[in-house]
Structure 1
Amino acid sequence: MKAIHSAHGVWESVENGYTVPENEEAFNQNERNDLEKLRKKDQCALTIFHQGLDDDMFENIANETTSKGAWEKLQRSVMGIDKVKKRLTPTLRDEFETLLMKEVTNQIKRLEEAVMDVRVIDKILHSLTKKFWHVVVAIKELKDLEAMTIDELNDSLREHEERMNHDDDVEQGRNQWYERDHGQEEQTQKAQPNYKGRG
């Protein structure tokens, strides 16, 4: 948001805010002109907020009349969702990479270069991170790349990622269960005296 506001030259209005003066009639014409410029900058900044938000976030600031008020309300409403951000980041990153690859493909096609899905699929497979390498090998060995579409590849990669995330969740649950049960055993063993017989 700051970059967009700065590009339009209105970030200062967001930071400093705009206050409606009490007796505007007492101002001379130059002061009124300056005040009108500040008011326009503030309304431009507020409009940028309105245009850049989804419906839910827009509802949070719909009643705000200044850009500073909207910014402060947005900051308060966003606090506390770090866990959600951490959870969504990998998924959004993958979606971004998929969209980016599709956009690159569309640009190449727009330039009238004959791009076959095979070349694009090959580029996608080569651009994947280490966690997907075994999937890349399986796809190359088991599937006919000539007949495969980009959407089919995308579906395969998404399915694999969901399985990996599910497996990670299951493994984490097992670890918590193991730690809980073995932690109780250790406490029980510590609580029991270690008697040795005469034998």
Structure 2
Amino acid sequence: MGDIINTSDAIKDTSHLTFQCPILTATNYPIWSLRIKAIFKAHGIWESIEPGTDVDQKKDNAAIAYLYQSLPEDLILQVAGCTHAKEIWDAIKTRHLGVERVMEARLQTLKAEFEAARMKDSEKIDDFAAKLSGIASKSAALGTVIEETTLVRKILTAIPEKFLNMAATIEQLVDLKTVKFHEVVGRLKAYEERTSLKTTNNSHDQLLLSYEG
């Protein structure tokens, strides 16, 4: 079973959209806290956590109810003595501080890996793009999203010299602030295939000339 389940009483906003309530585990605190924060903001009750002072009692009670729905039973018993949502939130944060630090260390490693990534001359566009996408996926899973524009600029600056003319053309033709990563990868891949075909044909011509000579 995954770490996200539908609550018995579906959480709905004023537009009658159904939310899923994330369940806190031993390892998912960073993602859990982001999701809970988003749900609380959608319901207008995040103020019960930040700043957590002079909070309307109904909002505080609602926040406590949602937190209880997202906690495992053993943890609910441990925070049952807390009277306000902020107290519960802070207790959970303190409990998972070690996990958060590990996540931050992993994010720093991924950031360094992303910044150092360079495409080799023998590497294919598809393979290098998959490597960047993989780093982005791992980063997102840890709570930090690598923006589309960052991915686009990375691949255009990390490709070998043989692609530089195409990279310059792409920069002139498209808006780097809005173009999608997969679109840039597609253009580079098409260029790669054309140049590869041209190289193959030239090699074939050279063999024919050598044979005829």
Pick the TM interval, shorter chain.
0.3 to 0.5
TM-score normalised according to structure 1 size: 0.42
- Name the larger-Rg structure: 1
| TM-score, with structure 2 as normaliser | 0.39
The answer to which structure has the higher helix fraction is 1
